């Protein structure tokens, strides 16, 4: 049986530094509304579980880890809401935000 992308990754694996972690007001409100633990999402992002990004974007994220480019993950938190996590190329900041806040 084949595991979905990222599910067999070591949960303690840290593939890249996060820098300062910040969140937009909309992301904070949505995570509060749906009782989402931001630390869990951040851990998934940092360990290479990119969430529900298209396969091409997942491949680009893998290249971005190796080459020091920007990394974007997307996680479904409700039927109609996602949270994005973006780590900047220079690894100075990681931002949690709603797609419409981009």
Question: What is the domain partition of the chain in residue ranges?
Answer: 20-97
Residue 73: the pLDDT is 98
Query: pTM value?
Result: 0.87
Residue 12: the pLDDT is 58
Assess whether pLDDT exceeds 90 at residue 101. Answer: yes
Assess whether pLDDT exceeds 90 at residue 99. Answer: yes
3-state SS string over 13-69? Answer: CCCCCCCEEEECHHHHHHHHHCCCCHHHHHHHHHCCCCECCCHHHHHHHHHHHHHCC
Tens digit of pLDDT for each residue in 4-39? 344 444 445 899 999 999 999 999 999 999 999 999
């Amino acid at each position: 049986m084949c595991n979905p992308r990222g599910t067999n990754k070591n949960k303690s694996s840290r593939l890249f530094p996060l820098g300062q972690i910040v969140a937009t007001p909309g992301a904070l409100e949505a995570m509060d509304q749906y009782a989402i633990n931001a630390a869990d999402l951040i851990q998934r992002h940092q360990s290479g579980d990119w969430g529900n990004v298209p396969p091409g974007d997942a491949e680009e994220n893998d290249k971005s880890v190796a080459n020091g480019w920007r990394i974007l993950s997307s996680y479904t938190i409700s039927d109609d809401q996602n949270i994005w996590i973006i780590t900047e190329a220079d690894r100075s900041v990681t931002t949690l935000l709603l797609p419409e806040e981009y």
